[in-house]
Amino acid sequence: MKKSPLYTRTGDAGQTSLVGGQRVSKCCDRLEAYGTIDELNSHIGLLASMVDSDTDRTLLTDIQNVLFVVGSYLATDTTTTELRSRSVVTDEMVQQLEHAIDLTDSQLPPLRAFVLPGGTQAAGQAHVCRTVCRRAERCILRVAAECPIDSRVTAYVNRLSDLLFALARKQNVDAQEAEILWLPNKK
């Protein structure tokens, strides 16, 4: 089988194809949404390389796989193209995230103040992931203002940012690193 080239030249004029072949501008809201999901996936890959726990690494790899599903969903304009089965975010995917949040949070002390992003390198990276995830959610909501978006997509991304916050805290706890608390009156 002949290897395909990495470049196609079809996007040189600022257009790209969605799933189904529809051509759109590379700066449209839909592209911004799934491009930000791709950015998040890359950041999560970096986070996975930093965590010490095999369980956390496996969880992050599972999330990366689902983010490909989310990206594929967002790359499909369902008003013009039928959604492929591999592009469907399921209730089970959302529930698995909720379970992971509950499990991770059960390992953490109660939160008594706002936490500043930081601590260990892995915790800091988890916070970067969390903020990119929140941006992805805002991008998806801009797409949803223009066309229907399955509520499980937005639920998944919303839950994911919560999990990333819990994972950031867990990285510090696991490393016995004190969390950095917000001191609103500190000058």
What's the average model confidence in pLDDT over 101-117?
94
Asked if residue 91 lies in contact with residue 12, where contact means CB atoms within 8 angstroms, the answer is no
What's the average model confidence in pLDDT over 157-179?
96
**What is the per-residue pLDDT for 175?**
95
**What is the per-residue pLDDT for 21?**
66
> Rg (Cα) of the chain, in Å, rounded?
18
What's the average model confidence in pLDDT over 3-17?
73
CB atoms within 10 A of CB 184: 7
**What is the per-residue pLDDT for 24?**
66
* CA 174 to chain CA centroid, nearest Å: 23
- With cut-offs at 50, 70 and 90, classify the pLDDT of residue 14: confident
Distance CA 72, CA 156 (A): 14
CB atoms within 10 A of CB 64: 16
Distance CA 185, CA 60 (A): 36
Distances (CA, A) of 144 to 23, 45, 85, 86: 19, 27, 20, 20
What's the average model confidence in pLDDT over 87-96?
97
Phi, psi of 162 (to 5 degrees): -65, -45
Burial (0-12, 13-18, 19+ Cβ within 10 Å), 37: buried
* pLDDT above 70: residue 101: yes
- With cut-offs at 50, 70 and 90, classify the pLDDT of residue 66: very high
